[in-house]
A and B are shown apart, each in its own frame.
Chain A
Amino acid sequence: MTDDDALVDFHEADARPPTAAVVASLAAAGVASTAGAVAGPAGGALLGVAALAFLVGSFRRSSRVLGWGAAVGVGGLALAGYRGAPAEALLVAAVGLTVAWDIADHGVGLGEQVGRGARVRRNVAVHAGASLLVGALAAALVYGVTLAVGGGQPVAALALLLAGGIALISALR
């Protein structure tokens, strides 16, 4: 539907996701794919497939397609990590993937509830900002901890550290 059609035939219930959300999601997915390509070509390709799925899911207003896209993206992360990708690239790819999925899914929900024509930019910006902030903080925290404890620690030790962190958080709540 072009803009002219929209003017001639105004319908309030245009349930497609708002443009701002789709664009922001694609940008984040692009960052994730680029970081994935740096980490490893196969993983990068899977992250590219995930970006495509986010686009398709946005156009078809389907959270299910978005979910499958996210699953493919996680598969891409696993493949890249298995092939020995550098931690920095993998962290950026993980945060990018999550933010991209989050905004796309948020956009689908917004489309359902307020529609494409409504003013949503502030809402999308706040949501995307919060999501990005959380990802950045989490990545910075784990990366900082890894640097602090030194590179030579066994992987199991890192996992145990993480398990301890989770236990601490759930105890605090």
Chain B
Amino acid sequence: MSGSRDAAVAPEAAGAGESEASDAGESLTNDLGEPETDDATAAEVSDAAAAEPTETPTDREHRREVATDRWLGIAGAALSLVGLGVLVRQSSLVLAGAVGVGYAVYARAGEAPTATLAVTRSVSDAAPEPGDEVRVTVRAENVGERALPDLRLVDGVPPGLAVVDGPARVATALRPGTAVTFEYTVRGARGDHDWEPLTAITRDAAGARERVSDLDAPTAIACTPELSAGGDLPLRGLTTVHHGRVSTDVGGAGVEFHATREYRRGDPLKRVDWNRRARTGELSTVELREERSATVVLLVDARESAYVAADPDAETAVEASVAAAGQAFSALLDGGDRVGVAALSPLDCWLAPGSGTVHAARGRETLATDPALAPTPSDERFYRSLWLRRFRRRLPADAQVLFFTPLVDDTAATLARRIDAHGHLVTVLSPDPTATGTAGERLVALERRQRLRTLRSAGIRALEWGDDSFPVAVAAATRRWSR
């Protein structure tokens, strides 16, 4: 704390030093160029004006000016002391009352000054990794004519970032030309984060009037996590016609045995079952499971209800879903499948299925920074039927859906069944955000388990993962699943 305080004092000292230096320079030039004093001073002034481009005040939006009513009643108290003094003939009471009147005048005299500040904000790292600590330094210089006897600054930290050290606020007093610097640390979280305007609250010396304004100093950081490849994700048997790695129920060329059938002219000789020919004399052909590629859309539940966590400091189900979707994205893309990204969110988010390195980069960008998948929920309203109509229109006919949802309400389960019913095979992947502390928490956990059971009985694959990692849960579940 003391270090940051020193840092805050330093710019003021530096400012004072600068002004002294410029004074000295002025006197020096005046001494040297005495014959043409007027021109020299004119040049001096214009130089000074040109040399201070940073001193333009930051754009501000005036929000409100109010009377704080702090001193309400001071005049009444003062005059009643005077009145009592007159009644009981005590001059000391009149004098004490007169002091009160002095304060009443003081309270009425002031006017809340305008926050004419030049604000600069700098971050130590504009592209941090998730979990990295980013040092934010805010400097506000009073570039106005008037002193600010009471200035409070509250920085507009993006809602998705947590302040982990030092409040993003300061209260101080600034003479014209002086500056205040304060620092704080935020922890990087996935996504694009824009700083909101800095709120400046100024009061007059007595604190009787208050003016609130917003100072716009745009700053942004982008935090894009690397996608780590997860384990192989078993897909369901809805595939494209292209060659790939998903075993299908279609007989043809492949690796795994599927069936035998009667020989037809033109079947390749190496697929003829020669053992059977030797045994019975009939020609038959072995069919193998065709391996094809799939089109997969990763659907992440990012409605407001999905922003849940087991405890206040834990990562939300949306964060867990996005991390798992990132692993699935790179795993599927490596397997030759076409992968897209969509969000179940009031905001529109759609990355059409595709493949290739460019698509991989685009998917990483979408998962990391799309506003629909932001670390904090949006304020918009979610309309289920509108969303479903748009989603179905975009979804390719042969696409299957990996639906990442915490399943904390019935809407998610209903949507999964409806998408499945429309022929897009759905696999529900559910991070477990429930806790077991209180009776209510246990009830919610029970309801969620019931939803999973209903989904499974409706023929939808569902897997959940809690404390163990997503790939572990996938590996454990894959053993259970038939194709």
Q: Which residue of the partner chain, among B68, B108, B154, B182, contacts A119 with CB atoms under 8 Å?
A: B182
- Does B169 lie within 8 Å of A115, measured CB to CB? yes
Residue B220 interfacial (CB < 8 Å): no
A59-74 interface with B by 8 A CB criterion: 63, 67, 70-71, 74
Residue A81 interfacial (CB < 8 Å): yes
Q: Which residue of the partner chain, among A74, A139, A154, contacts B77 with CB atoms under 8 Å?
A: A74
Q: Spot the interface stretch: A23-31, A46-54, A91-99.
A: A91-99
- Does B99 lie within 8 Å of A78, measured CB to CB? no
With A98-B100, A113-B171, A135-B99 as known contacts, state yes or no: A159 contacts B88, CB within 8 Å: no
Provide the residues of chain B in CB contact with A22, threshold 8 Å: none
Closest Cβ of chain B: how far from A43's Cβ, in Å? Answer: 11
Provide the residues of chain A in CB contact with B258, threshold 8 Å: none
A104-161 interface with B by 8 A CB criterion: 105-106, 109-110, 113-115, 117-120, 122-127, 130-131, 134-135, 137-139, 141-143, 146, 153-156, 158-159
Bound CA–CA A124/B172 (angstroms): 8
- Does B94 lie within 8 Å of A155, measured CB to CB? yes
Provide the residues of chain B in CB contact with A56, threshold 8 Å: none
Bound CA–CA A93/B97 (angstroms): 12
Residue B477 interfacial (CB < 8 Å): no
Interface size class of A (residues with CB under 8 A): 35 or more
- Does A87 lie within 8 Å of B169, measured CB to CB? no
- Does B151 lie within 8 Å of A162, measured CB to CB? no
Closest Cβ of chain B: how far from A66's Cβ, in Å? Answer: 10
- Does A146 lie within 8 Å of B171, measured CB to CB? no
Provide the residues of chain B in CB contact with A45, threshold 8 Å: none
- Does B149 lie within 8 Å of A87, measured CB to CB? no
Closest Cβ of chain A: how far from B449's Cβ, in Å? Answer: 32
Provide the residues of chain B in CB contact with A122, threshold 8 Å: 172-173
Q: What is the interface size of chain B, counting residues whose CB is below 8 A from a CB of the partner?
A: 58
Q: Which residue of the partner chain, among A118, A134, A141, contacts B171 with CB atoms under 8 Å?
A: A118
- Does A117 lie within 8 Å of B167, measured CB to CB? yes
Closest Cβ of chain A: how far from B339's Cβ, in Å? Answer: 39
Closest Cβ of chain A: how far from B9's Cβ, in Å? Answer: 9
Q: Which residue of the partner chain, among B77, B94, B98, B103, contacts A134 with CB atoms under 8 Å?
A: B103
With A74-B77, A141-B102 as known contacts, state yes or no: A90 contacts B152, CB within 8 Å: no
- Does A138 lie within 8 Å of B103, measured CB to CB? yes
Max chain B CB contacts within 10 Å: which of A71, A154, A162? Answer: A162
Bound CA–CA A117/B1 (angstroms): 10
Residue B166 interfacial (CB < 8 Å): yes
Closest Cβ of chain B: how far from A144's Cβ, in Å? Answer: 11
- Does B95 lie within 8 Å of A77, measured CB to CB? no
- Does B150 lie within 8 Å of A127, measured CB to CB? yes
Closest Cβ of chain B: how far from A128's Cβ, in Å? Answer: 11
- Does A114 lie within 8 Å of B167, measured CB to CB? yes
Bound CA–CA A123/B70 (angstroms): 17
Closest Cβ of chain A: how far from B91's Cβ, in Å? Answer: 5
Bound CA–CA A61/B218 (angstroms): 34
- Does B98 lie within 8 Å of A142, measured CB to CB? yes
- Does A91 lie within 8 Å of B167, measured CB to CB? no
- 13 examples of A-B residue contacts, CB within 8 angstroms: A71-B77, A81-B96, A82-B88, A106-B207, A114-B169, A123-B152, A127-B150, A135-B103, A142-B102, A143-B95, A155-B85, A162-B82, A173-B108
